[in-house]
Amino acid sequence: MEHEPPALSGCRVLLTAKRRATELGTALERRGAQVIHAPVLSIVPHVDDEELLARTRRLIADPPDVVVATTGVGFRGWLEAADAAGVHADLLAVLRGARLIARGPKAQGAIHGAGLTADWVAQSETAAEIKELFEAEGAAGLHVGVQHHGSGADGIDELLTELGARVTPLVVYRWGPPPDVEAVRRGVRLVADAEVDAVVFTSAPGAAEFLAAAEREGRQDAVVMALAGPVLAATVGPVTAAPLQERGIAPLIPDRFRMGALVRELTSALTGRGVMELATVGGLLRLKRGWASLDGRVLPLSPVQWGVLHALVAAGGGVVSRGDILALLPGSSADPHAAEVAVARLRSSLGNRELVTTVPRRGYRLAVTS
The string of pLDDT tens digits covering residues 137-189 is: 999 999 999 998 765 557 888 989 999 999 999 988 777 889 999 999 999 99
The string of pLDDT tens digits covering residues 230-283 is: 999 999 887 788 899 999 999 999 887 677 888 999 998 888 777 888 999 989
Which of 74, 140, 78 is CA-nearest to residue 104? 74
- Count CA atoms closer than 13 A to 306's CA, side-chain side: 16
Instruction: With beta carbons less than 8 A apart as the criterion, state whether 53 and 81 touch.
Output: yes
Q: pLDDT band at 92, cuts 50/70/90?
A: very high
Q: What is the pLDDT of residue 150?
A: 60
The string of pLDDT tens digits covering residues 200-228 is: 998 888 899 999 999 999 999 999 999 99
Q: pLDDT band at 1, cuts 50/70/90?
A: very low
| Residue 353 burial (CB count, 10 A) | 12
- What are the Cα distances from residue 71, in Å, to 50, 91, 95? 20, 17, 16
Q: How far apart are CA 347 and CA 224, in angstroms?
A: 41
Please state the separation of Cα 161 from the chain's center in Å: 34
DSSP annotation of 184 reads: H
